[in-house]
Amino acid sequence: MELIIKPKNKWWQLDLKEIWVFRDLFYFFTWRDVKVKYKQTVVGALWAIFQPFIIMVIFTIFFGKLAKLPSDGIPYPVFVYTGLLFWTLFSTSLAQVSNSFIQNEKIVTKIYFPRIILPISSIITNIVDFVIASSILVGMMFFYHYTPSLTGLLLIPILLLMTVFSVLGIGLLFSSLNVKYRDVRFILPFFIQLLLFITPVIYPVSIVGEKYRWILGLNPMSGVIDAARAGILGTREIDWLLLGISAISMLVYCIIGYFYFKKVERYFADVI
Amino acid sequence: MQSIIEVKNLGKKYKIGEQQRYLALRDTLTNIAKAPFSWFGKKVIGNNNEANIFWALQDLDFKVEEGEVLGIIGRNGAGKSTLLKILSQITPPTTGEIKLRGRVGSLLEVGTGFHPELTGRENIYLNGAILGMRKNEIEKKFDEIVEFAGIKKFLDTPVKRYSSGMYVRLAFAVAAHLEPDILIVDEVLAVGDVEFQKKCLGKMNEITTKAGRTVLFVSHNMEAIKNLCSRCLVLDKGKIIFDGETIEALSFYNNIQSDGKVNVNKGTYNKNRRGSGTLSFTDIQILNMDDVERNTFNVGETVKFKMSYEIYEKMEGLHVTVCFFSSKARDLLLTDMRYEVKKGIIKKGENGTLVLEVDLKTIRPGEYILYFWIGDKAAAKYGSAVNYDLLDDMVGPLIIKSDGVEKTTGVFTLNSKIV
């Protein structure tokens, strides 16, 4: 085994082999995050259900009943919960990914490992939450008599992957900026909160005219949530155009985020 | 045969102030918005004003053969830690190239990544993985690690409930069972109580004498260097000034040390330099009574610390502290001298020089690490971290010799007589 350390690395190269070498560390980081998360809260795993559930109740009361937002004919609780499920995965992961390097500052400055392990492992914890929280959706679908379409079922893993990669793309950019610029951590919560309102979580995509709908697609989560509603609840055909645009924008964010991360990654220990 | 480590023309440069500045994205964005072209120009032409550049390492060339135990010594700020960081791939070099032919394990700190909420057992796995051990490797050594740390009873207790001694023992135990081809160790033996330090040194000895293991070892503990290393590099201001046998290297090092210069490291990149940045030491000299800079003294002499400072922000009261630590046990504070040197409001831009005289009548021969602190009244009285500056072990140790019989045990002589 020979390792050569040089001033410049091939930053366009994704070193999957190296990540494989460090797979045990990857496993232990994920394991640590899951363990610590459920150890620190009294209710443990229940929290994963409790949080989106309460938000659903509140949104149903205020946006569904009082503000009477349209929901494409779907009962508002199911409608908003489907969106919230993916939104919660997206927003909490994004917040954690963006802080993943500064939170592990001590490790980053003392030990070498492929840095990308940190953001990825912090997403996985949230996927565990996602799986737990989806049990509520299954229950609600029974209650309201919804059956997913076959395409919808097949689409779930793809939607999940799209969410993960959107988080990774945007998160890598933020987490790298966060290492260098100390105010990013204060901007982030605000930014994520804003995103909630330009993502069709509490309202359907259909409130935007057909002509301008592609603009929503620039936000990868729009396509994901819209397709999740159509597919998982099996109410209508999936809007493939919107999903396609979202997939492309996801890819663009991934490329931007990854390249910026690769460019600055090796200097983390110097500036953190 | 090929060398296991080859370092060619290695250099590392830092921009001064890269560390201290609070960089805000907001400011960077407004700057770009205000003057997009000048920002672009700066980027292209390079903002590398020579005065702002600090070479932490320069023109390093050396090879290490398989099985060799190489000591690296030098004052603080000489570049030892930077070298280890580059070798461990934590930070990239600016120039040159390194070839490593083997698996590298680096130990720049004990207990990296320990999580207080997790139990001892869980932390052994986590920390082992962070240090680069495979899961089955940890499993195989698990009992040995627990045995070495002596924490069997507390294995399932969260480490936040551990005493600091237990914590360190566990951390070192994990680290000591790391078995890479190349082991990089930075000053990690200076932890825990004396008894445990001995045990660690024993373990290090065992590791280094095992065939085929290459070790790079940085320490201020000259005894440890003497015992463990066959060859030493002496670094000074980022350059290798000596490369050869340990005994010769140590005497060479002692000679360059004795001019008593303190590296105040004004504003340069250095993790050891802590402080608020609102005031700072600008110069520290260690003098004998004839005002000659020295750092070797005989028992019974008087040492003078001449400390210059500058105030950058208005503050109230000025206090100074000088501490002696024994280099035998790094955490052992020997004495701490605190003085209030000024009362009332101190204006911005003020500077001055203080001289502290210390009588070395009761100290035993040995090496002592110094620690200089200056701060305002709030910092001295309430530990507020708003206005202070700290030079922590920025200089080679103060060496105390005795003209009579070398009594190297103990650190103090008490005034006593037989009646």
Read off the tokens for B350.
Answer: 């003020």
**Length of chain A counted residue by residue:** 272
Range ranked top by mean pLDDT from A32-36, B47-51, B134-138, B291-295: B134-138
Q: What is the pLDDT of residues B30-44, one digit of tens each?
A: 777 776 665 554 444
CATH of B5-14+59-255, one of 3.30.465.10, 3.40.190.10, 3.20.20.70, 3.40.50.300: 3.40.50.300
pLDDT exceeds cutoff 80 at B15 = no
CA distance linking residue A78 with residue A60, whole number of Å:
9
Among B23, B88, B94, the residue with its CB nearest the CB of A180 is B23
Among A4, A111, A269, the residue with its CB nearest the CB of B91 is A269
| HSE-CB of B118 using CA atoms within 13 angstroms | 21
Among B25, B91, B126, the residue with its CB nearest the CB of A270 is B91
Mode of pairing for the β-strands spanning A3-5 and B104-107: unpaired
CB contact under 8 Å between B97 and A35, yes or no, is no
Read off the tokens for B56.
Answer: 């932490």
CA distance linking residue B360 with residue B317, whole number of Å:
29
Mean pLDDT of all residues in chain B?
Answer: 79
CB contact under 8 Å between A112 and B106, yes or no, is yes
Which part of chain B has CATH 2.70.50.60? 261-418
Read off the tokens for B248.
Answer: 């010769």
* Per-residue pLDDT, B301: 85
Q: How confident is the model at residue B22 (pLDDT cuts 50, 70, 90)?
A: low
Q: Which fold has domain B261-418?
A: Coagulation Factor XIII; Chain A, domain 1 (2.70.50)
pLDDT exceeds cutoff 50 at B20 = no
- Which residue is associated with the tokens 């390194």? B98
* Per-residue pLDDT, A193: 92
For chain A, the residues whose C-beta falls within 8 A of a C-beta of chain B are: 1-9, 24-25, 27-28, 31-32, 35-36, 39-40, 104, 106-113, 177, 180-184, 187, 266-267, 269-271
CB contact under 8 Å between B25 and A27, yes or no, is no
Which part of chain B has CATH 3.40.50.300? 5-14+59-255
pTM above 0.80, yes or no: no
Q: Which residues are CB-contacts of B132 (< 8 A; sequence separation ≥ 6)? A: A25, A111, A113, B103, B104, B105, B178, B180
pLDDT exceeds cutoff 80 at B273 = no
CA distance linking residue A112 with residue B182, whole number of Å:
14
CA distance linking residue A211 with residue A183, whole number of Å:
38
Chain A interface test: which of B126, B133, B184, B185 (most A C-beta within 10 Å): B126
- Which residue is associated with the tokens 């997009």? B36
pLDDT exceeds cutoff 70 at B181 = yes
Residue of B315 and B212 predicted with greater confidence? B315
- Here the contacts of B18-21 (C-beta below 8 Å, separation 24 or greater) are B18/A270, B18/A271, B18/B269, B19/A271, B19/B269, B19/B270, B19/B271, B20/B267, B20/B277
Q: How far does the CA of residue A9 sit from the closest CA of chain B (Å)?
A: 9
- Which residue is associated with the tokens 């700290």? B390
Which residues are registered as beta bridge partners of B233?
A: B72, B243
Among A1, A8, A183, the residue with its CB nearest the CB of B24 is A183
Q: How far does the CA of residue A22 sit from the closest CA of chain B (Å)?
A: 8
* Among the listed residues B12, B153, B186, the one whose alpha carbon sits nearest the alpha carbon of residue B86: B12
Q: How far does the CA of residue A2 sit from the closest CA of chain B (Å)?
A: 4
Chain A interface test: which of B130, B182, B218 (most A C-beta within 10 Å): B130
- Cα distances (angstroms) measured from residue A268 to each of A107, A108, B59, B89, B272: 11, 7, 24, 11, 18
